[in-house]
Amino acid sequence: MDAVGSSIPPVGTQGASRRRRTEPMHVSGASFMIPRAGPHPHLNSGRNPPATVRAHVGSRRPARVIAGALAALGATVVPTACGIISEGGPPNGVFRDSGVEFRVEVVAEGLEHPWGLALLPDAEGILVTERPGRLRWLRDGRLEDVEGVPEVRTGGQGGLLDVALHPEFTDTRWVYLSYSKPGSEGATTAVARGRLAEGRLTEVEHVFVAEAWESGGRHFGSRILFDGEGYLWVTVGDRGAGDRSQDLGDHVGTTIRLYDDGTVPADNPFVQRPEALDEIFTYGHRNAQGMVVHPGSGEVWLNEHGPRGGDEINRIVAGADYGWPHYSFGRHYSFRGIPDPEEGVGVELPLLHWTPSIAPSGMAVYTGDVFPEWRGDVFVGALAGRHLRRVRFHGTDPVEQEELLGDLGHRIRDVRQGPDGLLYLLVDASDAPILRLEPNG
């Protein structure tokens, strides 16, 4: 579920997708389907550790307050597991989730529906996109507009979306932007790049324009990523036209793999098929808005929105079909059923799925030293669920989940790890902050 402003209960049935035996686990009134320990086809070990789930559920009053403001940005107003603490006294605004004590600091405020962020090297600051079409540069404690941004079509879920840095940014200064590009046929997902100079992008050029034109403003995908080998990855949503996700002559509902200049690698899986578009790496996706390179395997993982339920974390396999719209663990908005994906039907199964939807957006694998207890864990922003979801995997099996920051009531749009080892979050709101998780003490 990914409609702007949607509100869905944050906790519900969880499932690992491979058809292993499952048993219910009840946590604070919510039922989770947890796979029993057992062998996994992608692991050498014969048995996985038992799965556990922690969740903070119950009636919470959403709070439009931000935790632990930096001294330059105002007073400290912070949440705890018991509610909102305005000032002073134990627990003094300290979160104690998953055995880790941390605070939430405000890095900046006043952003309008921010969508993606990139942390610049050499303490140059942070680049943030705003969906209405602005690229902001946070440096020296101030937010500045960056000029030279391509024209975008705003409306619905469209606008200026993700931002990523070239792997050799220090030398090239290339900044990549994804956005909804306007045209005579409506809008489509596009990626452009420009060189970041003093307060503007120069030499701006298109790298990729998807064959995904539609008149509506839904499901642009648009998460972009460079992997460890320098390939550029782009997600393209189904644009509200699910059947197109199965058409290899169309970029709708796909992941795209390119070189940094937009040319196509010769080993892309459909290059030799005349009916297929060369840029496609996988297909059958609905709307992927989070993507990471897994540090252990080097694989690309992504999260994507299901319909009514069936949000997923997927592992990207060259040439694979991920099933949409023919298979999903969710249901249509009309409540009409969709067959569950299963072994033997020719689709790649998700590593994890969520029903009810949490509306996943943004994704990071923590590799830093600041929070050693979280090392290797996957963090996912939840829009409808209004929390930060932490997932621990053993290989490709999810074995533990936890909701963080639910008391804040924020729609978490993006999550990134900074070079300082801290986690940075974007909140989706008309007057939104950048947040940072810092250890206590």
Q: Which of the residues 40, 113, 166, 219 is marked catalytic?
A: 219
Q: Which two tokens stand for residue 138?
A: 């946070």
Long-range contacts of 267-274 (CB under 8 A, 24+ apart): 268/318, 269/318, 269/319, 270/319, 273/248
Taking the alpha carbons at both ends of the chain, their separation in whole angstroms is 38
Nearest CA to 131 among 182, 185, 180, 195?
A: 180
Q: Which two tokens stand for residue 301?
A: 């993982």
DSSP 3-state assignment of 222? coil
Which residue reads 């995904």 in tokens? 212
CA distance 117 to 382: 16
Tell me, what amino acid is at 366?
Answer: Y
CA distance 69 to 22: 43
DSSP 3-state assignment of 246? helix
Q: How many residues does the chain have?
A: 441
Q: Residue 205: phi, psi to the nearest 5?
A: -150, 150
> Would you call 285 a catalytic residue per the annotation?
no
DSSP classification of residue 238: -
Longest Cα–Cα distance in the chain: 68
Tell me the catalytic residues.
Answer: 219
